[in-house]
């Protein structure tokens, strides 16, 4: 059979454009004994994919030119010649941006769609939920009564971080890019306060006003000037899980900011970068806690779903324009 995939056509300079991607036809052979035929249902688009479009050394290798973009995908078994799977099973794995696949079943994991919607395995019960859990609980170490600030607060990771911090009994302030998002954080996701960085002229003052006792934990998803303003309000012995720096992912040169290290030093602040893979051995603990909080009604989630496989590039680019609330997902 013939299927379609999306390849990296060229490397972007600054913000990627649609011409950096190309749709191609590929042939799939007949499935053999032990194999399964899979159809992509939900595709994850994630900010880290931007880094892999550069030809630069990082924790994940660059995407190759003329080769497909890869990421997490929820798929349905369409045909099975494996004793371990039957048609209709829903699985998750890391795959190319392609509509149909043949697998030997070793690169996928069955998921329970009675426990949560299938797409949640790409987000709150997948990488982004785990990132929020381990980054906050194991680096941020929030204590009841402390103040937690999270940037990128209305995104996939941020919306979970804020709610986990509330479960821990903290005062939680989110930073996001629109009034619609900040209102949603305080009305539907139990944040105590939220700041729209696009309309606030003095972020330093706005953070001081929202955090009268200073900032004990800053979960940094965005970096740049937003983080500079939060760090100016940081408390003694604060913790900063350095999760993402999305404001810099499309920068063509490293921008100059204020020198904040003396403040971190004199206030004995811990700032620690992490990649979620660092916690792989402990994923079952994270999934168990996230699932429990969902079941208890303490943790809610939302998604922005783009429809159509061909819209994967558009959805990825949308992350850099704030088009998503919660996790950005593409439904094929």
Which among 31-39, 74-82, 104-112, 154-162 is the span making contact with ligand NAP, rule CB under 6 A? Answer: 154-162
Residue pair 192/186 in contact by the 8 Å Cβ criterion: yes
Query: Would you give the binding string for ligand NAP spanning residues 209-248, x where CB under 6 A is met?
Result: ------------xx---x----------------xxxxx-
Size of the site for ligand NAP (CB under 6 A): 32
Q: Is the dihedral of CA 20, 26, 28, 29 positive or negative?
A: negative
CB neighbours of residue 331 within 10 Å: 17
Query: Would you give the binding string for ligand NAP spanning residues 296-325, x where CB under 6 A is met?
Result: -----------------------xx-x-x-
CA–CA separation, 91 vs 82, rounded Å?
Answer: 14
Question: Under the criterion CB under 6 A, does residue 177 sit at the interface with ligand NAP?
Answer: yes
Question: Under the criterion CB under 6 A, does residue 176 sit at the interface with ligand NAP?
Answer: yes
In the complex, minimum distance from the CB of residue 152 to ligand NAP, in angstroms, rounded to a whole number = 4
Helix axis angle, 127-134 to 283-295, nearest 10°: 100
CB nearer to ligand NAP: pick between 105 and 326: 326
144: Cβ contacts below 8 Å, ≥ 6 apart: 168, 169, 170
How far CA 244 is from CA of 34, 60, 213, 273, 314, in Å, comes to: 40, 15, 25, 9, 21
In the complex, minimum distance from the CB of residue 222 to ligand NAP, in angstroms, rounded to a whole number = 4
In the complex, minimum distance from the CB of residue 276 to ligand NAP, in angstroms, rounded to a whole number = 4
What are the tokens at 121? 């395995």
Residue pair 207/173 in contact by the 8 Å Cβ criterion: yes
- Residues forming the site for ligand NAP (CB under 6 A): 46-48, 127-128, 131, 152, 154-158, 176-178, 181, 221-222, 226, 243-247, 274-276, 319-320, 322, 324, 328
């Amino acid at each position: 059979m013939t299927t379609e995939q999306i390849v990296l056509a060229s490397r972007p300079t600054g913000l990627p454009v649609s011409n950096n991607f190309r749709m191609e036809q590929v042939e799939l052979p007949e499935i053999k004994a032990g194999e399964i035929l899979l159809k992509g249902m939900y595709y994850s688009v994630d900010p880290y994919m931007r880094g892999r479009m550069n030809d630069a050394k990082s924790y994940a290798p660059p995407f190759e030119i003329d080769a497909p973009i890869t990421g997490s995908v929820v798929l349905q078994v369409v045909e099975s010649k494996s004793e371990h799977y039957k048609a209709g099973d829903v699985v998750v794995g890391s795959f190319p941006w392609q509509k149909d696949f043949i697998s030997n079943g070793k690169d996928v994991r069955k998921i329970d769609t009675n426990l949560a919607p299938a797409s949640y395995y790409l987000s709150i019960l997948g990488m982004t939920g785990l990132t929020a859990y381990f980054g906050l609980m194991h680096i941020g170490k929030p204590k009841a009564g402390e103040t937690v600030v999270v940037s990128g607060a209305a995104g996939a990771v941020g919306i979970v971080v804020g709610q986990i911090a509330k479960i821990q009994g903290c005062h939680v302030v989110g930073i996001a890019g629109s009034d619609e998002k900040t209102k949603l954080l305080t009305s539907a996701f139990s944040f105590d306060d939220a700041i729209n960085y696009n309309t606030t002229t003095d972020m330093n003052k706005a953070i001081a006003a929202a955090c009268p006792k200073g900032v004990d934990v800053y979960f940094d998803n965005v970096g740049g000037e937003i983080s500079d303003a939060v760090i100016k309000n940081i408390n003694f012995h604060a913790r900063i899980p350095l999760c993402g720096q999305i404001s810099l992912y499309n920068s063509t040169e490293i921008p100059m900011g204020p020198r904040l290290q003396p403040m971190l030093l004199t206030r004995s602040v811990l700032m620690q970068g992490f990649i979620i893979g660092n916690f792989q051995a402990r994923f079952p603990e994270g999934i168990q806690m996230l699932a429990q909080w969902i079941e208890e009604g303490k943790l809610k989630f939302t998604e922005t779903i783009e429809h159509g496989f061909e819209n994967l590039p558009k959805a990825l680019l949308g992350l850099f324009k704030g088009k998503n609330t919660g996790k950005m997902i593409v439904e094929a």
